Each structure stands twice: as C-alpha cells, then as structure tokens.
Amino acid sequence: MDVYERLKELDIELPEAPAPVGKFLPFRQVGNVLFASGQGSFYKDHRIEGKVGADVTLEEAQLGARYCIINMLAALHSSLGDLNRIRKVVKLLAFVSSDDQFFAQPAVVNGASQLLIDIWGEDGRHARSAIATNTLPANLSVEIEAIFELK
C-alpha cells in the first residue's frame, strides 16, 4: 500500500505543511516511535473555530478533527520525507474546545480516527483520549497530537 495513492483515492490533497506557531518541531523521534506535535482544525483558508456546542456544530467539528490529521500528515510529509515510513498509528490525544454543556467529544474525534482507518486500515486503528477544553490556540475548535510507529 502506498499512502500517497491512498490519499489520492480518498480525494485528499495535502496542503503546505503548517508552519509551527511557536518554538517547536513538527515531530521528534525516539527509536521507531514518532511523537507528532498538536495540529489544529483548519484546511488552507477554512478555519473551524470557536466552542463546539455553542459556535460550532458537531458535524463542523468532526470536519475540524479531520483537518487536524490532514495537517499532521502534511507536516510529517514535509519533515519526515515519506509517509510510507509509518507502520501504524499508536495513539491520539485530542482536545475539543467545548461549551460546558457539550459532552460528545468522542464523536468529534471520530472524524480524525475514521480518516486514519480509511488510510491505513487495521494499522490506522489507535488508542485515544478525547478531552474537552474551554478554549484552544487561535480559537480553533480542535487540536490533536499523535504517536506513530515507524517501520
């Protein structure tokens, strides 16, 4: 399986890698474990921002979670060089900017998890935590960091 062919089949165009908005790297590797920095819920000029349950619907937030993964793949493509080096997805830690009465963070983050499964199949399945926050950097609605295993 070639990741880039699979992305084409899924009609996903990787954007330019988002420039880190701070003094950090897109990822760090220890042995064959890759720790990827948090990525936010925008795609090119389309931003999913504000609190889910108040400013943003569940469906918009799910799209936002998907955007986080697309940005992460763009960042890894740019800095790692070849997404085919990824063997499997290990874990997501996802934060959802949430109204106090919004409790469906897992449904939001499914937008990210489904995309990883669509790309890598069984190897795309992962451990996960979906957490609420009262706000997020740049007022984005979702931020997701991840751990991958490399070949």
Among the residue ranges 3-11, 55-63, 131-139, the one whose residues contact a copy of itself (CB under 8 A): 131-139
- Say how many residues touch a copy of itself, by CB under 8 A: 58
Among the residue ranges 1-9, 10-18, 55-63, 89-97, the one whose residues contact a copy of itself (CB under 8 A): 89-97
CA 113 vs CA 90, 97, 122, 138: distances in Å: 11, 18, 12, 23
Write phi, then psi, for 134 (nearest 5 degrees). Answer: -80, -20
Q: Which is nearer to a copy of itself, 13 or 131 (CB)?
A: 131
Asked if 138 and 49 count as a contact pair (C-beta separation under 8 A), the reply is: yes
The footprint of a copy of itself on residues 11-70 (CB under 8 A) is 21-28, 30-33, 35-38
Shortest CA distance to 71 belongs to which of 140, 1, 150? 140
By CB under 8 A, residue 142 contacts a copy of itself: no
Among the residue ranges 8-16, 55-63, 136-144, the one whose residues contact a copy of itself (CB under 8 A): 136-144
By CB under 8 A, residue 91 contacts a copy of itself: yes
CB atoms within 10 A of CB 17: 17
